[in-house]
Structure 1
Amino acid sequence: MKAATCPAAVKVSPEITDDDRALFHEVISTDLADWQIEQVETPSKIYPRQEKLLAVHWHPEFVPFKHISRRVEKMFPNVQDKLMIPTQHNVLMSYGDYTGVEVDCYASGFNQKVQLLLHFENEKVKEAHVLKSMLAHTFKYRSSQLFEYMDTITKPMEDRIEKAAKATGADEDLVEMVRVYVTKIQTMLDEEWSSVPKDSIKNKLLKNYFDALRPKYGDTLINRLQAYLKAIKKQVKTDFSLKFFYRATEVIEEARSLGGCVVIPHPEEFWPILLAKYDVDGIEAWNPQSQRYTEFLISVVNEQNIKRPAGNKELLIFMGDDCHMSEKTKPVETQDPTKAAREIGLQPAWDDLNIRKKLIISGINRSSVIEEYKARMAG
């Protein structure tokens, strides 16, 4: 029996064709076609028995709130009490009475990048000039990672290229095919910079572009390309300098000065923040990416609350859905199934019997967190 062979990479002309440019415009576009709107507004499942909705960690990206609202209303038709706050990366966004953001920052005590969720009543950030300037700097710096990612491929940075190729089995032809296409993307990005939506200037631009080439080259070759790209991206992220981010303490101080609240997301990565006793309101004990430490973290929060000094507020427990709405605008066949399964307000951990047992001890449930957190933001 003959062994199956992987499809070979193809030689690609460095000249930017009309097809290349049309695909580039398609990938960077933030306009939604009718089929995308229908896909966004139609949930895959309905949860008629859920009456409380708590969602303080989700990313609208370029999807208009009106479509998001329709999806959530269809998904949870009997909700009587809700708290929904968007947390775009490094950009303040308002929905209803509240404004939120997920901020990249630097925790010097752990020498690592961390992220914090900041939440406010809308009125409190109308004149938040310092916070807005801090976020603009962070957004610009964070976006620069895409350019380092592309430079690694096009310059190229040989040590990173060799390491990624070795890790993924990419041969010279595949490496060259990726280099040519990324050079084209880089050139088109520079040529059309003034009209490129800022929402598209992120690492996933390359992933989305190569995904859009699937009809032309087939899934097997594109999957090989994507594995190689992912290995390069991982190196870029690891080597990305932290010194240009604001310190976590600076971000927290600014949020507090405006009357905002702070939550630690991504518990598997950032739970050590709890050890530093930062001035935060709570921590996600669960989200779709981070389920390993849920029960442990609830116990830690319970212990800290018992030992807290008189007059200090209790740490709250949150469950984050970390839903990225742009995933729901992609053709189903190119969606990441794990990311696509995330939904605003869908947090099964609240109903898990083992987790509920620990939450009962702390007197915490969705309803109590909604009530207490609204009170803190109003305070």
Structure 2
Amino acid sequence: MNTATSCAEAVTVSPEITDEERALFQAVISTELADWQVDQIVTPSKIYPRQEKVLAVHWHPEFVPLDLISQRVETMFPNATDKLLIPTQHNVLMNYGPYTGVEVDCYASGFNQKVQLLLHFENEKVKDADVLKSMLAHTFKYRSSQLFEYMDTITKPNEERINIAARETGADENLVKMVKAYVTKMQTMLDENWSSIPKSSIKNKLIKNYFDGLRPKYGDNLINRVQAYIKGIKLLVKANFSLKFFYRATEVIEEARSLGGCVVIPHPEEFWPILLAKYDVDGIEAWNPQSQRYTEFLISVVNEQNNSRPAGSRELLIFMGDDCHMSEKTKPLDTQDPAKAAREIGLQPAWDDLNIRKKLIVAGIDRQTAITQYRERLAG
């Protein structure tokens, strides 16, 4: 680590792209796995021999092969007697075993905000789902375009957003110039390599991962300051990203229902107001590694709604979402986000929390009940 360059004042970035910078860019966009990455994927940090039921309907394989994911899950839960695992890649249908899933970005007009929905299907039901696939392709392309707006905000630049982010994160003029210089190079390399870049790599985290790759050169102190600054910009870009090009949540739900699919509301801390709109959904996550504030409240709300539902209507189911992003397992341990790295497919401690279990008992649901009932709905 070069501690001599721990301050942005000491950094001068040449506009020329070096071979070292090109190699780093290729490493960041690559979806090929080295042997050490495979070892990290198939070797979980902890094993759970007493968990016999594994329910996971909100997780992201990203570029990690499903056979390696299977090895990890089998190792983590060696005594599992029943499993329901459905991947939910962002805006891309992906199947695992008998089921296909996706997490869709869409627009809730009643709340004037972007929301996400989990769609789940038996594989055969989406074999010829041309309309849904076209909707997802459009959404994937538009969602990916946020990276370009993110980069342009830094390099054009958008002075208002730059000033806000710099002020809120304490970034000085030299750090702002350094970030602009490197993101400009990233844009150039993105254009130069466009035809060969995996489309799954075109996302906001490309910038974060590239700067993480500069830690050996600049040290943690400076790169941590950079990461705080670019995160501030990213949040401003996301907050101002136009919603008009997303499909409405009702349109996504209608298409999923027409194919015989099921729908779950994820990210309860952000999206629980959807319950007020009474959309045609099968259930809601009451817990998520980044959304734990409303768990007991949401379980009570779902229970009340189920008790007052019209005769013949289906109950809302309760889920816990691990929201595991498998690409985090492929990073060097010293650059992993500890909170994200701790997420595991099927690991949802809320099911076993004593206070939460009291609410779940009243609601008449546990892991096995959720697995059984949801499997029945998927087959319906």
Tell me the TM-score normalised to structure 2 length: 0.98
**Distance between the aligned counterparts of 1:296 and 1:190, measured in 2?**
48
> Tell me, what secondary structure is at the counterpart of 2:346?
coil
TM superposition shift of 1:175:
0.8
Mapping of residues 144-163 of structure 1, within 5 Å:
144-163=145-164
**Distance between the aligned counterparts of 1:41 and 1:165, measured in 2?**
40
Q: Which amino acid in 1 is paired with 2:7?
A: P
**1:38 counterpart = 2:32:** no
Q: Which amino acid in 2 is paired with 1:181?
A: Y
1:249 aligns with 250
Mapping of residues 192-231 of structure 1, within 5 Å:
192-231=193-232
Q: Which amino acid in 2 is paired with 1:8?
A: A
1:232-265: CA deviation from partner (whole Å, max 9, x where unpaired): 1011001000010000000000000000000000
**Distance between the aligned counterparts of 1:175 and 1:361, measured in 2?**
54
2:122 aligns with 121
1:374 aligns with 375
Runs of 4+ more than 6 Å apart = none
2:92 aligns with 91
**Distance between the aligned counterparts of 2:118 and 2:8, measured in 1?**
44
> Tell me, what secondary structure is at the counterpart of 2:263?
strand
**Distance between the aligned counterparts of 1:228 and 1:363, measured in 2?**
46
**Distance between the aligned counterparts of 1:170 and 1:373, measured in 2?**
48
**1:137 counterpart = 2:138:** yes
**Distance between the aligned counterparts of 1:295 and 1:170, measured in 2?**
39
Q: Is the 2:92–2:140 contact (alpha carbons within 8 Å) kept by the matching residues of 1?
A: yes
Q: Which amino acid in 2 is paired with 1:80?
A: T
**Distance between the aligned counterparts of 2:162 and 2:374, measured in 1?**
47
TM superposition shift of 1:162:
1.1
Q: How many residues end up aligned between the 2 structures? A: 375
1:58-87: CA deviation from partner (whole Å, max 9, x where unpaired): 000000001100000000000010100000
TM superposition shift of 1:286:
0.2
1:140-167: CA deviation from partner (whole Å, max 9, x where unpaired): 0000000000000111111111111111
**Distance between the aligned counterparts of 2:137 and 2:30, measured in 1?**
22
> Tell me, what secondary structure is at the counterpart of 1:106?
strand
TM superposition shift of 1:6:
5.9
Q: Which amino acid in 2 is paired with 1:32?
A: L
**Distance between the aligned counterparts of 1:58 and 1:303, measured in 2?**
28
TM superposition shift of 1:172:
1.3
1:19-52: CA deviation from partner (whole Å, max 9, x where unpaired): 1111100000000000000001000101001000
Of 155-164 and 131-140, deviating more is 155-164
1:185-211: CA deviation from partner (whole Å, max 9, x where unpaired): 000000110000111100000000000
Gaps of 5+ in 2: none
**Distance between the aligned counterparts of 1:6 and 1:32, measured in 2?**
31
Q: Is the 2:49–2:79 contact (alpha carbons within 8 Å) kept by the matching residues of 1?
A: yes
**Distance between the aligned counterparts of 1:271 and 1:113, measured in 2?**
13
**1:186 counterpart = 2:187:** yes
TM superposition shift of 1:134:
0.3
**Distance between the aligned counterparts of 1:47 and 1:168, measured in 2?**
40
Identity of aligned residues (%): 82
Gaps of 5+ in 1: none
2:69 aligns with 68
2:170 aligns with 169
Mapping of residues 330-369 of structure 1, within 5 Å:
330-369=331-370
Q: Which amino acid in 2 is paired with 1:318?
A: F
1:7 aligns with 7
Q: Is the 2:8–2:178 contact (alpha carbons within 8 Å) kept by the matching residues of 1?
A: no
TM superposition shift of 1:8:
2.8
Q: Which amino acid in 1 is paired with 2:295?
A: T
Mapping of residues 312-327 of structure 1, within 5 Å:
312-327=313-328
Tell me the TM-score normalised to structure 1 length: 0.98
Q: Is the 2:59–2:88 contact (alpha carbons within 8 Å) kept by the matching residues of 1?
A: yes
